[in-house]
Amino acid sequence: MLTFMGALKVGDHAPQFRLPGMRMVNGRFEHAEYSLDARRDGPVVLAFYPLDQSKVCTEQMCSYQDDFAGFEDLGAEVWGISLQGVESHEEFALKNGLTFPLLADHRDGVGKAYGVALGSILRRSVFIIDTDNVVRWKHVAMLGFTYRRAAEIKEQILRLFPAPSGHAFAFAPPSF
C-alpha cells in the first residue's frame, strides 16, 4: 500500500509502504517485509541511497553501521532503501558487514512517494519519522555525492526527542 504525494515537508505524514528487505544477523540473512506501521516504538531513520556497492553509498552505509549501536542506544532504527533487489542487498551487506535492514524499492515506487526518485535512481536522502509516522526531519541531497553523517542524524534525533528513557522516547510535539 502506498500513499503518493509531492515533495514531503517536515510535519507531513510519511507515506506508508510495505517493502521486502533483509537484515544480516550473526552472518545469516533474515528476510522480512518492512512497513512503518509494523515497526517497534521509536523513530526510524529512512536512508535512501542510489546504488549498492558504489563508492559513496558504501561509505554512507558503512558510516551508519559504524554508529549503529549509537542509533539503537537512542531507541532509533535505521533502514536503508535503494532500488536494487534483496539479493543485491545481501551481497552488499555481507561484503560490508551491514546489520541494519536494507529494503528493496525495485517495484513499489516508495522513492517516488517520498519525492526522492530522480528517473531510475533515488536521490541520497534521509528522513526521520516519529511513531505517529510524521516526518520530523529530512535532508534531500542536491548532488549525489553528499550524505548526512551518522553524528548529524543522531544529533537531530536528540534534538527532536530530548527525553530518552531506556529504549523509548517521550516525544515532543512536532515543530512546524
- Catalytic option among 57, 93, 129, 150: 57
Catalytic: 57?
A: yes
Output the pTM of the full model: 0.85
Using alpha carbons only, give the angle 98, 108, 69 rounded to the nearest 5 degrees.
20
User: Per the structure block, which three cell numbers stand in for 158?
Assistant: 536528540
Pairing of strands 44-48, 125-129: antiparallel
Q: Any idea which architecture 23-157 has in CATH? A: 3-Layer(aba) Sandwich (3.40)
pLDDT per position as a tens digit, 45-86: 999 999 898 888 899 899 989 887 778 888 889 999 999 999
Please check whether residue 79 is in contact with residue 46, taking contact to mean a CB–CB distance below 8 angstroms.
Answer: yes
The predicted pLDDT at position 35 comes to 94
Tell me the domain boundaries of the chain. Answer: 23-157
Give, as one character, the DSSP assignment of residue 13: B
Give, as one character, the DSSP assignment of residue 63: H
